[in-house]
């Protein structure tokens, strides 16, 4: 039986980070726990924090389950993660600037050209263009897993439009409302500075033609999008407009926002729609979500788009294996955070190993996300494994494989009481005039006993994430 690192208990003893929660956990009657859980769900529902899943029947306003038991990091643990995350964000942006320019890392033979230039996420429309401050990915979500007291691994990078930050902020708000005594008894670093930091980051990458204070807006696909709540939530927090494609138009080398007082020039767009839908004149001609002519304005310095079109080539799962090499190549440093060992099925020997060991590995689609298109070997039936085997044999370049990591567990409130459940962590690194991240992130938890899949779209829940102040 696999041994998992329990973040709260070590040999039956409570680990220091959780010492302030042990009594709270033991003394809470089951009736109070049930009442508080119902209160939390009512608050989430009242506020409107929902997560719809495309193609899924049932409730379009489904709540992501919220677990009241917080996850805790010490200050030294967080500092280690923070340094590694910032290093990774700098390297990923250096890579993007390079591959849309001279491609030195490819010329040097460090990354195969086909993985970059034949990648579906590589946007030739921005080749040769340098965005403001040379930054392509302004919000980098780095998914981390833990396997021991000092062992952290990067599971994947999210350089396009990483979601979930509204849960990080609302989890904290609801915990403070329901258990104020916990925050009086424990010194916990705040996360509520995120919206100011995001606004600062977006303003710092205003385009060359911007005069004065930049006007910022969030571009959303609309209220049918699964993350629409987050789009409107962040717009409210930052005090900026939430717009859809039809609210904007391009004219005279600028992007304009339709308002009741006439057109207003827009300088920075925090876009939450995919590249393919941004501009029907440049990408998908059938897009009803984008703004015709936007890419011409962007390339001429009339507007900034955050994150930049084309940033997705850096978070492709095949490119992921080369991020440690990016750190060495661009920064001249050794990586502070390790990748999970990864086999690329595009390589003949790797593919042979994967096919021979499918029952022990996690296999993922190179372009997949949200927990879809993956096989968790140890948790799959023989039929599922054989079906996946045929998929890999038909298109090996579409898959990577990783060992089944012994993800750490944290105490979680379940029907029977408190039980360990597997977790991961997504901190949000902001890259603009400076690189910064708030102390915390989104902890996702696999609520099903034994499950290693924490994605919200696959039934996972969320927790508040504490970083203890010194």
Cis-peptide into 307, omega within 30 deg = yes
CA 33 vs. chain centroid, Å, equals: 30
Rounded Cα gap, residues 55 and 8, in angstroms: 38
With respect to residue 424, please indicate whether it lies within any of the assigned structural domains.
yes
With respect to residue 115, please indicate whether it lies within any of the assigned structural domains.
yes
Residues 376 and 266 in one domain: no
Residues 116 and 209 in one domain: yes
- Rounded to the nearest 10 degrees, the angle between the axes of helix 165-178 and helix 194-204 is 150
pLDDT at residue 52, as a whole number: 55
Residues 393 and 419 in one domain: no
CATH number of the domain that residue 355 is part of = 3.30.1490.270
Q: Which domain-ending residue is among 387, 403, 419?
A: 403
With respect to residue 4, please indicate whether it lies within any of the assigned structural domains.
no
Residues 74 and 138 in one domain: yes
Query: 204 in the Ramachandran plot: left (φ > 0), alpha (ψ -120 to 50) or beta?
Result: alpha
Residues 72 and 149 in one domain: yes
Q: Which domain-ending residue is among 357, 372, 403?
A: 403
| pLDDT tens over the chain, length 470 residues | 568 999 999 988 999 999 999 999 988 888 898 899 899 988 888 877 765 554 444 455 667 889 999 999 999 999 999 999 999 999 999 999 999 999 999 999 999 999 999 999 999 999 999 999 999 999 999 999 999 999 999 999 999 999 999 999 999 999 999 999 999 999 999 999 999 999 999 999 999 999 999 999 999 999 888 889 999 999 999 999 999 999 999 999 999 999 999 999 999 999 999 999 999 999 999 999 999 999 999 999 999 999 999 999 999 888 999 999 999 999 999 999 999 999 999 899 999 999 999 999 999 988 765 556 788 888 889 999 999 999 999 999 889 999 988 899 999 998 878 899 999 999 999 999 999 999 999 999 998 888 887 876 667 899 999 999 98
pLDDT at residue 57, as a whole number: 46
With respect to residue 215, please indicate whether it lies within any of the assigned structural domains.
yes
Return the number of other C-beta atoms located less than 10 Å from residue 408's C-beta.
23
pLDDT at residue 368, as a whole number: 63
With respect to residue 412, please indicate whether it lies within any of the assigned structural domains.
yes
Q: Find the radius of gyration of the CA atoms of the chain.
A: 22
pLDDT at residue 56, as a whole number: 45
Residues 92 and 199 in one domain: yes
With respect to residue 2, please indicate whether it lies within any of the assigned structural domains.
no
Rounded Cα gap, residues 388 and 61, in angstroms: 32
Q: Which domain-ending residue is among 403, 418, 437?
A: 403
Residues 121 and 73 in one domain: yes
Residues 365 and 449 in one domain: no
The number of domains in the chain is 2
Enclosing domain of residue 384: 341-403
Q: Which residue has the tokens 């049930």?
A: 34
Residues 231 and 127 in one domain: yes
With respect to residue 3, please indicate whether it lies within any of the assigned structural domains.
no
Residues 271 and 360 in one domain: no
CA angle 349, 350, 351 (to 5 degrees): 90
With respect to residue 1, please indicate whether it lies within any of the assigned structural domains.
no
Are 90 and 98 in contact by the 8 Å Cβ rule? The answer is no
Residues 370 and 431 in one domain: no
pLDDT at residue 458, as a whole number: 67
pTM of the model: 0.93
Residues 254 and 380 in one domain: no
């Amino acid at each position: 039986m696999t041994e998992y690192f329990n973040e709260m208990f070590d040999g039956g003893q409570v680990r220091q980070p959780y010492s302030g929660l042990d009594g709270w956990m033991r003394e809470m009657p089951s009736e109070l726990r049930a009442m508080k859980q119902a209160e939390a769900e009512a608050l989430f529902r009242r506020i409107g924090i929902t997560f719809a899943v495309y193609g899924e029947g049932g409730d379009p306003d489904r709540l992501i389950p919220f677990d009241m038991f917080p996850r805790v990091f010490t200050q030294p643990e967080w500092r280690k993660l923070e340094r590694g995350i910032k290093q990774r964000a700098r390297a990923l942006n250096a890579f993007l600037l390079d591959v849309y320019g001279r491609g030195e890392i490819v010329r040097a033979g460090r990354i195969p050209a086909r993985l970059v230039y034949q990648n579906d996420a590589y946007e030739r429309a921005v080749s040769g263009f340098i965005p403001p401050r040379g930054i392509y990915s302004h919000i980098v979500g780095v998914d981390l897993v833990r396997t021991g007291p000092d062992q952290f691994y990067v599971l994947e990078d999210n350089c396009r439009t990483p979601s979930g930050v509204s849960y990080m902020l609302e989890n904290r708000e609801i915990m403070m409302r329901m258990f104020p005594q916990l925050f009086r008894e424990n010194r916990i670093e705040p996360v509520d500075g995120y919206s100011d930091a995001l606004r600062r980051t977006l303003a710092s990458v205003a385009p060359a033609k911007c005069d004065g204070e930049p006007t910022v807006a969030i571009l959303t696909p609309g209220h049918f999008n699964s993350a629409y709540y987050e789009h409107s939530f962040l717009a409210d927090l930052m005090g900026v407009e939430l717009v859809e494609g039809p609210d904007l138009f391009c004219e005279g080398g600028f992007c304009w926002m339709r308002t009741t007082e006439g057109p207003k020039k827009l300088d920075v767009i925090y876009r939450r729609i995919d590249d393919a839908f941004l501009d029907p004149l440049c990408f998908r001609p059938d897009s009803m979500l984008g703004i015709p002519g936007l890419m011409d304005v962007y390339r001429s310095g009339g507007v900034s788009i955050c994150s930049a079109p084309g940033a997705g080539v850096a978070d492709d799962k095949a490119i992921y294996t080369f991020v440690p090499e990016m750190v060495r190549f661009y920064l001249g440093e050794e990586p502070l955070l390790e990748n999970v060992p990864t086999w690329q099925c595009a390589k003949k020997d790797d593919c042979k190993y994967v096919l021979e060991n499918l029952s022990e590995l996690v296999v993922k689609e190179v372009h997949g996300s949200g927990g879809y298109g993956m096989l968790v070997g140890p948790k799959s039936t023989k039929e599922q494994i054989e079906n996946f085997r045929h998929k890999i044999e038909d298109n090996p370049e579409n898959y990577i494989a990783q060992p089944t990591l012994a993800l750490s567990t944290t105490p979680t409130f379940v029907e029977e009481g408190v039980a360990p459940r597997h977790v991961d962590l997504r901190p949000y690194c902001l890259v603009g005039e400076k690189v910064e991240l708030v102390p915390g992130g989104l902890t996702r938890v696999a609520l099903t006993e034994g499950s290693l899949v924490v994605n919200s779209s696959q039934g996972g829940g969320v927790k508040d994430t504490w970083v203890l102040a010194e």
